[in-house]
Amino acid sequence: MQTLLLIVHIILAILLIGSVLLQKSDGGALGIGGNSDNLMSSRSAGNFLTKFTAVLAFLFIITSISLTLINKKDTSQKSIIDKIEQLDKNTNTQPKIPSSK
């Protein structure tokens, strides 16, 4: 389940990046550097690409939250440092010093 959700999440991320890059740029932020005529003009209300990007963003957020919740169930309460210390105790292999002849 987690693998399938991760694959869907990656595909959504790629599609979201592509749809954002395909959209038309409006010009400068808050009218800075653009025409003063375009500052108060109305944008075309929601063409297909804008709606598609919004749906992809919503699905991306849902898969992100789902992956977080699934991963939270699988992990224990120990920290990563505790796990590393436990691995060091279990292996207990020290590098050997070469002997001189």
pLDDT tens per residue across all 101 residues of the chain: 889 999 999 999 999 999 999 887 766 555 555 554 444 444 554 588 989 999 999 999 999 999 999 888 766 666 777 777 777 777 766 666 777 76
Domain assignments of the chain as residue spans, ordered by start:
2-24+47-88
Torsion angle in degrees (nearest 10) through CA of 62, 68, 69, 75 = 170
- Please give the DSSP secondary-structure letter assigned to residue 33: T
5: left (phi over 0), alpha (psi -120 to 50) or beta: alpha
Question: 9: Cβ–Cβ under 8 A, 6 or more apart, which residues?
Answer: 60, 63, 64, 67
Give the global pTM: 0.58
Judge contact between 60 and 16, C-beta under 8 A: yes
CA distances from 54 to 15, 20, 21, 51, 61 (A): 12, 10, 14, 5, 11
